[in-house]
Chains A and B, each alone.
Chain A
Amino acid sequence: MGVMTDVLDVTGVHHRYGATTALAGVDLRLAPGECVALLGPNSAGKTPVVGLATGLLAVQAGDVRVCGGDPRRAATRRHLGIVQQSMGFPPTETVGELLRGAAVRAGRPAAAASPAMAEAGVSQLRSRRVRKLSGGQQQRVALAMALVGDPDLLLLDEPTVGLDIAARRDFWRAIAARRDAGAAIVLTTHIVEEAAAVADRVVVLHRGRVVAADTPAGLTARLSDRTIAARTTLDDVALRALPGVLSVTRDGTRVRVATVEPERVLRDWLARDHELTDLRVEGAGLEQALFALTGEDPGTAGGNADPDTHTDLGTAKLEVPA
């Protein structure tokens, strides 16, 4: 019986940029068909991990293997498909030319471009020059390029930036199909809800170390925090004065109050504001878990400022009609 090789095997990796430690003993393994999200604040170490897995960076200490091979070797990189936030396509190329080129570079016949374009929903763009594509269309072309080589490992770096809701859904549907076929996926994103929705495992990096690795539900279950969201006439000072309130943030016209004593806070809040409306109590989300694990502001840890990106994570919610 054969032994299944990890698609990605990162073992005891240390990496430095001059005097700055980027990674300090990181281990990460991905089996075929597994999806792992790398999360953490800026400079946590996500970029060096991706750089090592793609062969952009040379291993200084430890070991990095992709399908058992050294990613610094071109032959090993045939196992990779990569979507990054900006691909920098040559503006003079057409989509079809880009895809045929990507197929050949990946060791596949140029004809493999057509099914990949269909899979990413860009077949109708095949004759269009890249400079005439919107940002969202370019991201879909990037997806087609990543899929055309039939990769064992998909590295997705902020892959859905610029995509509208429908395109984002199609994107994840295509990725899910590849995952079902056995491709492993590494996702780095600032859209924490998206990571929670698609990843089997979340690896939280902080200052070059893995500080947590668990399922999204497992990470959020570590927190007893609750968030109460509502429209209120009370100002922030009055809200902070309520016993049990940990923090207060504003999200448009709604206010979000973090607490470990939601019942107590709600009783006092309702007593002071009889016009309280649009009330919702949520369990801790992955974003709060990240905040708790890294101790850094969710804004820099990957706070989601884009309301279009909201994904239902299945967290416990108490809806109170207005």
Chain B
Amino acid sequence: MTAAIGTRPPAHGLRILRVEVAEGLRAIVREPTALFFSVLFPVGFYALFTTIFGGQQGFVAGLPYAATNLATFGAFGVVSVMLMNPGTAVAEDRTRGWLRVKKVSAVPIGTTIAAKVIAALPYAVAVMLAFSAVSLLVAGPVLEFGSWTRLMVALLVGSLPFALLSLAVGFVLSAGASAAVLNAVLLPMAVASGLWFPLEMMPPFVQNLAPLLPTYHLSRLALAQLTGADAGVHVVALLISTAVAAALSGWAYRNLRV
């Protein structure tokens, strides 16, 4: 038994993080059904749109639709899986009582939340690899490897605030209610940010609303990886979104009723 309370070196925090992440990854590997169906919906829509419009010129000059769609619909893909999965998973943990066990353990709040976010990344990786495979099959190679890699990194890193927002909802609501609320957030945000259809096709009030949404900035950051446009404002917007979502999830976890 320990006699005094002391601080632990950072290595101890990393060991806990590794344990927490491993638990999340094992859950995905051992029950891949959730991953499969989470990825199936966005990939199905992506395949549909790319099949219909894949050979046409995209709304960004000089780029085929299949390439720009990999950025914009890709943003929808990663946001949908990152927004839906961590929240419903922690809500189920809470219902079962496991979150109570975690909360009374000696795991710092930041480690718990970081682990949940990291453990959700395989969903985003899976959806982007599936999109890329479909794009390759339907439209052939439309991006150079360097552009594709930058696009992947931008979408994966840019999806983190959505996982944090998802956790904030999951810490508060039941699994069923979390799924309903997150869906109600996801679909309007996706449409209003031009992730399904080009923003130029939307009414003016939607075009004015879009820059207020993190999904818009993620899609613009993704497009910038293809066009080389300046993405500074989008990075800042996503950093602010991350800070707000992290604060929300931290508050929700701290005030968790278990």
List the interface of chain A (C-beta within 8 A of B): 54-56, 67-69, 73-80, 82, 84, 86-90, 92-93, 97, 100-102, 104-107, 145, 149-152, 181-183
Interface of A is mostly: loop
17 examples of A-B residue contacts, CB within 8 angstroms? A56-B100, A74-B109, A75-B5, A75-B8, A75-B106, A77-B105, A84-B100, A87-B97, A92-B31, A93-B26, A106-B105, A107-B12, A107-B106, A150-B1, A151-B1, A152-B2, A182-B1
User: Chain A residues near B105 (CB, 8 Å)?
Assistant: 74, 77, 102, 105-106
Contact A80 B23 (CB under 8 A): no
Partner of A183, one of B1, B95, B106: B1
Q: Using an 8 Å CB-CB cutoff, how does the interface string of B84-114 with A read, 1 for contact, 0 for none?
A: 0000000001011111110111111100000
What is the CA–CA distance of A106 and B19 in the complex, to the nearest angstrom? 12
Contact flag A90-B27 (CB < 8 Å), given A74-B109, A149-B106: yes
Q: Which of B2, B6, B8, B31 has the most CB of A within 10 A?
A: B2
User: Chain A residues near B16 (CB, 8 Å)?
Assistant: 104-105
Contact flag A77-B104 (CB < 8 Å), given A104-B19, A181-B1: yes
User: Chain B residues near A151 (CB, 8 Å)?
Assistant: 1
Closest chain-B Cβ to A142's Cβ sits at a distance in Å of: 9
User: Chain A residues near B97 (CB, 8 Å)?
Assistant: 84, 86-88
For residue A77, which residue of chain B has the nearest CB? B106
What is the CA–CA distance of A145 and B100 in the complex, to the nearest angstrom? 14
Contact A88 B100 (CB under 8 A): yes
Contact A105 B8 (CB under 8 A): no
Contact flag A88-B98 (CB < 8 Å), given A75-B7, A106-B105: yes
Interface residues of B in 1-17 (CB under 8 A from A): 1-2, 5-8, 12, 15-16
Closest chain-B Cβ to A195's Cβ sits at a distance in Å of: 22
| Contacts A90-B93, A93-B23 supplied; 12 other A-B pairs, CB < 8 Å | A67-B5, A68-B5, A69-B5, A86-B97, A87-B98, A88-B100, A101-B22, A101-B23, A104-B16, A107-B106, A145-B101, A181-B1
For residue B1, which residue of chain A has the nearest CB? A152
Closest chain-A Cβ to B118's Cβ sits at a distance in Å of: 15
Contact A55 B104 (CB under 8 A): yes
Closest chain-A Cβ to B179's Cβ sits at a distance in Å of: 19
User: Chain A residues near B153 (CB, 8 Å)?
Assistant: none
User: Chain A residues near B108 (CB, 8 Å)?
Assistant: 74
Contact B2 A150 (CB under 8 A): yes
The A-B contact count (CB < 8 A) is 97
Contact B23 A97 (CB under 8 A): yes
Contact A82 B104 (CB under 8 A): yes
Contact flag A54-B107 (CB < 8 Å), given A86-B97, A104-B16: no
Contact A88 B23 (CB under 8 A): no
Contact B106 A88 (CB under 8 A): no
For residue A150, which residue of chain B has the nearest CB? B1
What is the CA–CA distance of A79 and B19 in the complex, to the nearest angstrom? 20
User: Chain B residues near A100 (CB, 8 Å)?
Assistant: 19
Closest chain-A Cβ to B8's Cβ sits at a distance in Å of: 6
For residue A50, which residue of chain B has the nearest CB? B104
Contact flag A106-B5 (CB < 8 Å), given A90-B98, A92-B27: no
Contact A79 B2 (CB under 8 A): yes
Contact B23 A56 (CB under 8 A): no
What is the CA–CA distance of A291 and B14 in the complex, to the nearest angstrom? 51
User: Chain A residues near B96 (CB, 8 Å)?
Assistant: 86, 88-89
Contact flag A78-B2 (CB < 8 Å), given A101-B19, A104-B19, A107-B106: yes
What is the CA–CA distance of A82 and B100 in the complex, to the nearest angstrom? 11
What is the CA–CA distance of A71 and B256 in the complex, to the nearest angstrom? 15
What is the CA–CA distance of A55 and B253 in the complex, to the nearest angstrom? 12
Closest chain-B Cβ to A232's Cβ sits at a distance in Å of: 45
Contact A105 B19 (CB under 8 A): yes
Closest chain-B Cβ to A113's Cβ sits at a distance in Å of: 11
Say whether B258 faces chain A, with CB atoms less than 8 Å apart.
Answer: yes
User: Closest 8 CB pairs between A and B?
Assistant: A88-B97, A88-B96, A88-B98, A54-B104, A78-B106, A92-B30, A74-B108, A77-B106
Closest chain-A Cβ to B254's Cβ sits at a distance in Å of: 9
What is the CA–CA distance of A262 and B6 in the complex, to the nearest angstrom? 59
Contact A90 B2 (CB under 8 A): no
User: Chain A residues near B258 (CB, 8 Å)?
Assistant: 56
What is the CA–CA distance of A134 and B87 in the complex, to the nearest angstrom? 29
Closest chain-B Cβ to A161's Cβ sits at a distance in Å of: 13
What is the CA–CA distance of A68 and B20 in the complex, to the nearest angstrom? 28
What is the CA–CA distance of A33 and B100 in the complex, to the nearest angstrom? 26
Closest chain-B Cβ to A175's Cβ sits at a distance in Å of: 14
Closest chain-B Cβ to A123's Cβ sits at a distance in Å of: 20
For residue B6, which residue of chain A has the nearest CB? A75
For residue B94, which residue of chain A has the nearest CB? A88
